[in-house]
Structure 1
Amino acid sequence: MSDELNEEKQPKEYDLVLGGNNPPPTDGLVLGGIEGLKLQFNNANSEEKKIAILQKALAYGETGEAWLLDLIATENDKIQWLAAVLLSNTKNKIYKELLLEYFADFIPKNVDSWNEYKQTLPNFEINLSAINIGYNKELHQVDFSKVNLKKANLSNLLLYEINFFQTNLSQINLKNTTVVSSNIKQSNLENANLTKALFYGAELDEVNLSNAIFVDTDFCNNACIQNMLIDHSYSFSNTSFSDIIFKNVTFKNVNLQNIYFYGSSFENVVFDNCNLISADFRIDCIANLIFKDSNLENIRLMLSNLKGVKFDCVNLRGADFRWSDLTGVNFTGLDVRGANFTRCTFGNNNLDKANTKGAKFSSINSPRFPPNLKTSNLKGALFDDQHYYEPGYE
């Protein structure tokens, strides 16, 4: 009996040992609740084990969050960062404010560590909504991919080579911010403030820009906009798209009056029912550019490669085509009154049933005026090479 009793007194594998001179086991001891998790964390003999244990904290609700907050104050480096990230989705307003202050200080000063640590939780949403980093001057090569930056303030910054892939940027403040050579693919910029923002060489592929504020916004220097539908929810004011690569983009029911597209290239792009009055399109058409059911009055298309461009039921009154290559363009039935075709290159064109009153062409004897246009309807057109000649563009 005494042997059995002594055996019963011996601690089993999962018993809690209190007191004694022997240290508690690091793996076999299990203490219930958050205290057990803390004990496992304190007894862990490697950073990897601590990280694995730490990720279980959120399962303990408010007590788990409180512990994570304590770790932010007592730990450092990756463990401190990880505790903050795990707590980033808290609904506790006090905790949230403290976390945003922590990250707003940590990120600009520890970019390499942020990028390294971020790989620890590749599938965990880091919630930095409403963070204010706008007081910094610049950020370089920060990995914000898949981070929640909703309502964040990144205004007045230089953002260089930032990874915003699949990032929630809705309602973000990028006012007066310059975004250089950055990946913004598949991100959500809905309702973003892009006033006076400059996108220089940025990649915007499948980006949601609905209801974003475009006032004096500038996209330039080979920024790439592709695989997008830009519809009536977009409002552009004094926006510039200079030297942009457009691929697989449809503009539908958009007001683009006076918008600047200087030097841009277009591949599989459609402007459907758009207001393009006085827009500037000095462009290079790579392939399949269509203007459909749109108002192109006084549009500027001079010095452009427009081979194969399709004009379908559009108003081209007063359009400026000077010195452009119009090979293969069909103007049948279109209103080109007052349009300027001076020094254009023609070939396989048709102006049958077009309204050409006041349209300006080079002289009928000019080598720039091919014989096949003689059969088109050119009633009211003007042929005075000397009157429309401009030095330097012979």
Structure 2
Amino acid sequence: MTAMKDDKNFFFDVVVSAHVPKNSVSRHNLIILLRKKMCYSLFNMIDKNLEEASMSGMDLRYMDFSHANLARADFSHCNLSNAKFFGTHMPNINLKNATINDVDMRGCYMNRADLTLVAMSNTNLNNARIRDSNFFSAKIANCSMKEVDLENSDMKYATLINCDLQRANLCSVDLSDANLSHSYMEGVRLSFANLLRINFISSYLVDAVLNNVYAKQANFHKAVLLGADLNNSIVSGSLRDANLRSTKLEGIQLGDCCLVGTEFDDEVVEFFRREKKQNCILQ
């Protein structure tokens, strides 16, 4: 068996010259296994420097990339389940179509990452910095994303169901046609975000900052917006059975809305009377 190393990409081509007996592991699977083992050995030898590494399509489950340098690395189509990326430096990383389940990504730095079509669940992204990144059509569920920084990212058609986004920064994020239903988003910052046709069904948005958002045809059915800031926003769609108590609405442009069963306090009711929002269905 011989191995050839490309110093630029840390990419191994493994050539298996030995005879592979019948009914044993296939030559293809053996090559994959050897590549994994050699990559793991190299990873430890070079003090976790895999800058610009090409790892596309590899099975990297349970690998520990904590505090590594993965800048501009290609992890597209990889299985990264149960891996560790704690505090990892990985700006411009390619994670397109990757599988990321039960992964520790706390405090990682991955601005300008490509997470298009990523499948992610039960992953910890607390305090991660993922600005200016692409999450187009990403499927994310049951993840802890407290204080994650996603500012100016593209999250069109993304699904983030049952995620904890407390105090997360989603300012200027494009969430058009995204689904964030059943998510816990207390204190989340969404200023200047594009929320066109977003789904916030049964989401917890207490004290959320939603000023200057574009939220036409949005679905806030059963959402809790207690104390949320919707000042100067453009909103239409469904607020049915939502909680709007103590919500800030100054300067809001409220289009056609369903407010059946919505909870108000006197201040919010007075706002509707003063603004004469006759295009809103109240009951």
TM-score (norm 2): 0.78
**Kept after mapping to 1: 8 A contact 2:206/2:225:** no
2:241 is matched with 323
Matches of 1:359 and 1:145 in 2, distance apart? 52
Distance 1:270-1:151 versus aligned 2 partners, 3 A rule: closer
**Kept after mapping to 2: 8 A contact 1:100/1:128:** no
Measure how far apart 1:319 and its partner are: 2.7
**Kept after mapping to 2: 8 A contact 1:319/1:336:** no
**Kept after mapping to 1: 8 A contact 2:101/2:121:** yes
Amino acid at match of 2:51: S
2:120 is matched with 199
| 1:250-269: CA deviation from partner (whole Å, max 9, x where unpaired) | 32233322222111111221
Matches of 1:354 and 1:162 in 2, distance apart? 54
Q: How does 1:214-229 map to 2 (within 5 A)?
A: 214-221=135-142, 223-229=143-149
Structure 2 SS opposite 1:199: strand
Are 1:140 and 2:77 an aligned pair? no
**Kept after mapping to 2: 8 A contact 1:150/1:171:** yes
2:29 is matched with none
Distance 1:152-1:297 versus aligned 2 partners, 3 A rule: same
| 1:212-237: CA deviation from partner (whole Å, max 9, x where unpaired) | 2222112212x1223244333x2233
2:18 is matched with none
1:231 is matched with 151
**Structure 2: gaps (5+ residues):** 15-31
Equivalent of 2:49 in 119, 127, 130: 127
Amino acid at match of 1:184: M
Equivalent of 2:174 in 249, 255, 258: 255
Distance 1:107-1:141 versus aligned 2 partners, 3 A rule: farther
How many residue pairs get aligned? The number is 260
| 1:120-174: CA deviation from partner (whole Å, max 9, x where unpaired) | x9xx8421223333333x3322111012222333222322121101212223221
Equivalent of 1:167 in 88, 93, 106: 88
**Structure 1: gaps (5+ residues):** 1-72, 74-92, 363-394
1:10 is matched with none
Structure 2 SS opposite 1:108: helix
Matches of 2:233 and 2:109 in 1, distance apart? 33
Matches of 1:303 and 1:226 in 2, distance apart? 22
Measure how far apart 1:342 and its partner are: 1.2
Measure how far apart 1:110 and its partner are: 8.2
**Kept after mapping to 2: 8 A contact 1:186/1:207:** yes
TM-score (norm 1): 0.58
Are 1:344 and 2:262 an aligned pair? yes
* Larger RCO (alpha carbons 8 Å, 6+ apart): 2
Distance 1:161-1:201 versus aligned 2 partners, 3 A rule: same
**Kept after mapping to 2: 8 A contact 1:333/1:354:** no
Are 1:245 and 2:164 an aligned pair? yes
Distance 1:213-1:250 versus aligned 2 partners, 3 A rule: closer
Q: How does 1:364-375 map to 2 (within 5 A)?
A: none
Larger Rg: 1
